[in-house]
Amino acid sequence: MTSAATPTVGHDIKPDSTTHRLPLPDEVVPGRVLWPYAISIGLFHIIAFAVVVPWLFTWTAAITMVVGIFFFGQGINLCYHRLLTHRSFVVPLWLERFFVIIALCCLQDTPGKWVAIHRYHHNHSDHQPDPHSPLVHFLWAHVGWLIIRNPGAHNIGVYRKFASDVLSDRFYLKLEKTLLWVWIYIAHAALFTLIGAGVGWFVGGDLASAVRYGASMLVWGVILRTVLVWHITWSVNSITHLFGYQRYETGENSRNNWLVGLLAVGEGWHNNHHHDPASASNQHKWYEIDLTFYAIKGLEVVGLAKKVTKPRHVRQAERQAERATAAMDGQPSD
């Protein structure tokens, strides 16, 4: 874990959702809308509502959507969050970039910006200037912070300070400087549409079936999946800083929430995560199932993930054992 990812500890104010409220971050000017983000998010939600049209439903696309929530969601959970932000394990560069491309298909910004904002959140969680605390209000944390300008968080100084390691990579820097990330998203949407059309042609044997399956795959398999993964990720910022239980006193308002824990495949055990952000696992009890960690373990088993950071209590026990061994080695034998 990089030093930038280490959360500041020892906040003076104990957050309490019932008594402690935060104003908007200082540099936010209400009403200054980030139009490209606002329009994109609005448009995607409108298109996603097309799933109510029966003509657009196919089982192929519906199953693709469900599988896609987990698969592409891992681009955010496993890659952007645990791999790039917290460096809780390492993978070969080719695999890291593959995961980044999967994450770009979630349309949740570039790795440099995502990492910088999340480390910024860890450094100031539920205190000024946390970019997305729900102690401002729920909608601000869920989506408002994405569509209202916040020059205090979204500036080159913050990106350099909190994500210099990510931005030192030429590919990730190129993603910041060009619209390649948009084209990658469009290319994957086109590919899904074409595959859907191919399946439709195979199943129905005519152009009408190909068009229907292609459109179904685009709306269900790409647009709706993108919107649902957005809300799952956003829920980690909003719901798990308001609702749930606190296993640890972490100096902010993070919670373990079983619903987000299930939907975000382990990211909802957010109080555990704030307690020990370096750990690759958020599972501190048997019932706090962390499927994202199981995926990391799977990569480790096949030799693709290395230096998987263990939970804090295991790291501490190992350090104590090492110290005890070193002390014994230093003792003269009689």
CB of 223 to Zn ion, least distance (A): 27
Residues 6+ apart with CB under 8 A from 90: 83, 305, 306, 307
Q: Which stretch binds Zn ion (CB under 5 A): 65-73, 148-156, 217-225, 247-255?
A: 247-255
CA neighbor of 88 nearest in space, from 317, 287, 266: 266
Choose the binding region for Zn ion from 87-95, 249-257, 258-266, 279-287 (rule: CB under 5 A).
249-257
Q: Choose between 125 and 193: whose C-beta lies nearer to Zn ion.
A: 125
Shortest distance, position 271 Cβ to Zn ion, whole Å: 9
Residues 129, 131: Cα–Cα separation, whole Å: 6
CB of 63 to Zn ion, least distance (A): 31
* CB of 193 or CB of 253, closer to Zn ion: 253
The minimum distance between CB 253 and Zn ion, in angstroms, equals 9
Measured from the CB atom, the residue of 254 and 272 that comes closer to Zn ion is 254
Q: How far is CA 92 from CA 83, 88, 126, 170, 251, in A?
A: 11, 14, 35, 16, 35
Q: Encoding tokens for residue 169?
A: 């990579």
Restricted to residues 87-146, the positions that interact with Zn ion (CB under 5 A) are none
Instruction: Pick the closer one to Zn ion by CB: 254 or 309.
Output: 254
DSSP 8-class letter at 275: H
Q: Least Å distance between CB 135 and Zn ion?
A: 12
- Which range touches Zn ion (CB under 5 A), out of 6-14, 58-66, 246-254, 286-294? 246-254
Distance CA 246, CA 122 (A): 16
Tell me whether residue 60 or residue 271 sits nearer to Zn ion (CB atom).
Answer: 271
Question: In 3D, which of 291, 262, 257, 259 has the Cα closest to residue 272?
Answer: 257
Report phi then psi at 149, rounded to 5: -60, 135
Phi, psi of 306 (to 5 degrees): -130, 170
**254 vs 256, beta carbon nearer Zn ion:** 254
Q: How far is the CB of 180 from Zn ion (least distance, A)?
A: 26
Output phi, psi for 281, to 5 deg: -115, 135
List of residues contacting Zn ion (CB under 5 A): 254
